[in-house]
Structure 1
Amino acid sequence: MRLIGLAGWSGAGKTTLLQRVIPCLTGQGISVSTLKHAHHGFDLDQPGKDSHTHREAGAHQVLVASARRWALMTELRGAPEPPLAELLRRLDPVDLVIIEGFKRDAHPKIEVHRAGNGKPWLHPEDPRILAVASDVAPPAGAPPHLRLDDIEAIARAMLRHAERF
């Protein structure tokens, strides 16, 4: 499998970009999985559902399955957050894994930047950022610039910069 990351501050448009890039890639016959880093308190489960009740009762893992999908939830219960490499090993083989977030980890990335967000550029501090997808031209010396609305160019850049893991 190969991987590439999208890194950027909250509100830069990483998820919106992924919503457009994934169909572009899968339309070319490329199988894609994503790994998203979430905020500390996220929860997919709902109070009142049996799975939530199982977790609240102390179950270490709860696997919910149907004819359409399945999901495995693991409670860390004070254990450290698993490192990115461990999470990647849990994915089924695909052509490309796109990582959203994990901006401090050492993997190849495309920076997503929106001028209106008011946040600083990430690339000056991260040599693993190999291209910048932005609504404005980056400063001189930045990695190659991709227009944020040029989905096909961003998809090509993801494939070009993806690395095997």
Structure 2
Amino acid sequence: MNQRVFGITGWKNSGKTTLTERLVALFTAQGFRVATVKHAHHSFDIDRKGTDSFRHRQAGAVETAIVSANRWALMHQLRSEQEPPLSEILERLSPADLVLVEGYKNDSHAKIECRRAGARDRSPLLGTIANIVAIATEAPEAASAPPQFHIDDVEGIGAFILKFLHLNSDAR
């Protein structure tokens, strides 16, 4: 699948989720079809104990699909399998104009690094992980390489991403 992928990376509490959410809203308002991938470093569950689908998984189903008139979800139990690489997850997504990836900082896709004073760790990722092409921070430095944006300049960051990915919002 030839999807345009751009990452939002940074330490815990650096503003990744807020920036991702705001970029999705911006790009969607511009007419783009946007998909997201969020990498979790902890166990999570999107199903509650006692529901039918939870019971199906507990009984041993490898995959369980939940379908309604409003949405559907497919849950895959890894059991003894390894966590799939980002490339495999991207292959499973429906076609989209662009995919925003939160996390997966060690993968090779282009990324913007989020930096905030309230982050758990404030050491720069630039220079330690591949393909950071911009920085979103509370105190951007002018004429820096890579370019820096104020973390709240969603329009500026969005325009940078569209240009970087060769996407034209005027064509929408």
Number of residues paired by the alignment? 164
Which residue matches 1:92? 94
- Tell me the distance in 2 between the aligned counterparts of 1:26 and 1:53: 36
Give the C-alpha shift of residue 138 in structure 1: 5.7
Gap runs ≥5 in structure 2: 168-172
Which runs of structure 1 show a deviation greater than 4 angstroms over 4 or more consecutive aligned residues? Answer: 138-142
- Tell me the distance in 2 between the aligned counterparts of 1:60 and 1:78: 11
Give the C-alpha shift of residue 142 in structure 1: 4.4
Which residue matches 1:157? 160
Pick one of 99, 124, 128 that aligns with 2:131: 128
Conservation of the 8 A alpha-carbon contact between 1:110 and 1:158: no
- Amino acid aligned to 1:21: L
Conservation of the 8 A alpha-carbon contact between 2:65 and 2:75: yes
Structure 1 residues 91 and 53 mapped into 2: Cα distance closer, same or farther (>3 Å)? Answer: same
Alignment TM-score, normalising by the size of structure 2: 0.89
Give the C-alpha shift of residue 27 in structure 1: 1.0
Give the C-alpha shift of residue 44 in structure 1: 0.8
Instruction: Report which stretch shifted further, 37-46 or 62-71.
Output: 37-46
Which residue matches 1:116? 118
User: Mapping of 1:15-26 within 5 angstroms?
Assistant: 15-26=17-28
Question: Secondary structure at 2:46's aligned position in 1?
Answer: coil
User: Mapping of 1:51-130 within 5 angstroms?
Assistant: 51-117=53-119, 118-130=121-133
Structure 1 residues 74 and 155 mapped into 2: Cα distance closer, same or farther (>3 Å)? Answer: same
Alignment TM-score, normalising by the size of structure 1: 0.92
Question: Secondary structure at 1:25's aligned position in 2?
Answer: helix
